[in-house]
Structure 1
Amino acid sequence: MSYQESTGRRRRATQAETGRHAFAARRLLAGIGLALALSLMTVQPGFARGIGPQSVADLAENLIDAVVNISTTQKTKGHPEVKRPKLPKGSPFEKFFDEFFKNENNKRRKRRKVRSLGSGFVIDPSGIVITNNHVIKNADQITVNFNDGRKLKAKIIGRDPKVDIAVLKVEPKKPLKSVKFGDSNKARVGDWVMAIGNPFGLGGTVTVGIVSARNRNINSGPYDDYIQTDAAINKGNSGGPLFNMEGDVIGINTAIISPSGGSIGIGFSVPSATAEPVVKQLREFGETRRGWLGVRIQTVTDEIAESLGLEKTYGAMVAGVNPDGPAAKAGIVAGDVILKFDGKTVPSMRDLPRMVAKTDIGKAVEVEVLRRGQRKTLSVQLGRLEDGEKKAEKGDGEDDGKAEPEKTVVSLGMTLSAISDDLRASFGLEDKVEGILISEVDPDSAAADKGIARGQVIVEVNQEKVAKPNDFIKKVEAAKKAGRSSVLLLLSDSKGDKRFIAVRITKEN
Structure 2
Amino acid sequence: MKKILTLLLVSALGGIFTLGAYKLYIEDENPVAIATADSIPAFLPTHNVDAFLNAAENTDFTVAAENTVDAVVHVKNITLSSGQMTLQDLFSGRSPKRAQLGTGSGVIINADGYIITNNHVIRNAHELSVTLNNNKTFKAEIIGTDPKTDIALLKIESDEALPYVTFGDSDTSKIGEWVLAVGNPFNLTSTVTAGIISAKSRDLTGKSSQSFIQTDAAVNPGNSGGALVNTNGELIGINTAITSQTGSYIGYSFAVPSNIARKVVEDIMEYGNVQNGILGIVGGTLNSSVAEELGVEYTEGVLVSEVTKNSGAEKAGIKSGDVIKKLDDIEISKFEDLSGYIKTKRPNDIVKVEVSRDNKLKSFSVKLTKTELFTVTFMKMELQDLTDAFKEKHGINNGVMVKSTENKWLYSNLGISEGYIITGINDIQIESIEDISKLKKKYGDDILENIKKLEYINNRKEKKEVIFR
- TM-score interval, normalised by the smaller of the two chains: 0.5 to 0.7
1:254-403 maps to which residues of 2 (within 5 A)? 254-330=240-316, 332=318, 334-339=320-325, 341=327, 346-365=332-351, 367=353, 380-385=366-371, 388-390=374-376, 392-397=383-388
Q: 1:141 aligns with which of 127, 131, 136?
A: 127
Does the C-alpha gap of structure 1 residues 74 and 386 become closer, same or farther in structure 2, counting only changes over 3 Å? farther
Query: Are the structure 2 counterparts of residues 333 and 183 from structure 1 closer, same or farther at C-alpha, using a change threshold of 3 Å?
Result: closer
Change (3 A) 1:368 1:201: closer
Q: Could you say which residue in structure 1 is the equivalent of 2:422?
A: none
On the 8 A contact 1:305/1:313 being kept in 2, the answer is yes
Measured against aligned partners, the alpha-carbon deviations of 1:360-419 in whole angstroms (never above 9, x if no partner) come to 532455656567888876654321236545463112237999xxxxxxxxxxxxxxxxx9
What does 1:424-503 correspond to in 2, within 5 Å? Answer: 430-431=396-397, 495=461
Q: Which residue of 2 aligns with 1:453?
A: none
2:179 aligns to what SS in structure 1?
Answer: strand
Secondary structure in 2 matching 1:311: coil
Structure 1 length as normaliser, TM-score?
A: 0.59
Distance in 2, matches of 1:246 and 1:118, equals 24
Match of 1:489 in 2: none
Total equivalences in the alignment: 359
- CA contact 2:321–2:357 (8 Å) conserved in 1: yes
Amino acid at match of 1:217: D
- Secondary structure of the structure 1 residue equivalent to 2:130: strand
Structure 1 residue 292: deviation in Å?
0.9
Partner of 1:97: none
Q: Give the 3 Å change call, closer, same or farther, for CA 258–379 of structure 1 in structure 2.
A: closer
User: Which residue does the alignment assign to 1:173?
Assistant: 159
> Matched residue of 1:393: which SS?
strand
Change (3 A) 1:345 1:257: closer
TM-score by length of 2: 0.64
For 1:48 and 1:102, the matched residues in 2 are separated by 68
Distance apart, 1:321 and its partner CA:
4.0
State how far apart, in whole Å, the 2-side matches of 1:121 and 1:74 are: 21
What residue is the counterpart of 2:17 in the other structure? none
Rounded Cα–Cα distance in structure 1 between residues aligned with 2:40 and 2:314:
66
Give 1:171 deviation, angstroms: 0.7
Counterpart of 1:164 (choices 150, 169, 178) is 150
CA deviation profile, 1:100-158 (whole Å, cap 9, x unmatched): 73345659712333321100121211101111121112223221111222221112223
- 8 Å CA contact 1:290–1:386 kept in 2: the answer is no
> Counterpart of 1:252?
238
Shift in CA distance, 198/390, structure 1 to aligned 2, threshold 3 Å: farther
Q: Is the 8 A contact 2:180 2:230 kept in 1?
A: yes
CA contact (8 A) 2:73 2:105 kept: yes
Q: CA distance change for structure 1 residues 43 and 182 in 2, over 3 Å: closer, same or farther?
A: same
Query: Which residues of structure 2 form unaligned runs of 5+?
Result: 1-35, 378-382, 400-458, 463-469
CA distance in 2, matches of 1:135, 1:58: 28
The amino acid across from 2:143 in the alignment is I
| Whole-angstrom distance in 2 between the partners of 1:320 and 1:145 | 49
After superposition, the Cα gap between the structure-2 partners of 1:348 and 1:133, relative to the gap in structure 1 and judged at 3 Å, is: same
Distance 1:311 1:72, change over 3 A: same
* Residue 219 (structure 1) aligned to one of 205, 208, 222: 205
Q: Does 1:76 align with 2:81?
A: yes
CA drift of 1:47 comes to: 3.7
Distance 1:319 1:114, change over 3 A: farther
**Structural RMSD (CA):** 4.1
Paired with 1:224 and 1:136, the residues of 2 have a C-alpha distance of 20
Matched, 1:121 2:107: yes
Show CA shifts across 1:418-475 (max 9, x none).
Answer: x9xxxxxxxx964469xxxxxxxxxxxxxxxxxxxxxxxxxxxxxxxxxxxxxxxxxx
Deviation, structure 1 residue 199: 1.0
**Alpha-carbon offset, residue 201 of structure 1:** 1.9
C-alpha spacing 1:230/1:382, structure 2 compared with 1 (3 Å): closer
Alpha-carbon distance change, 316 to 167 in structure 1, aligned in 2, over 3 angstroms? same
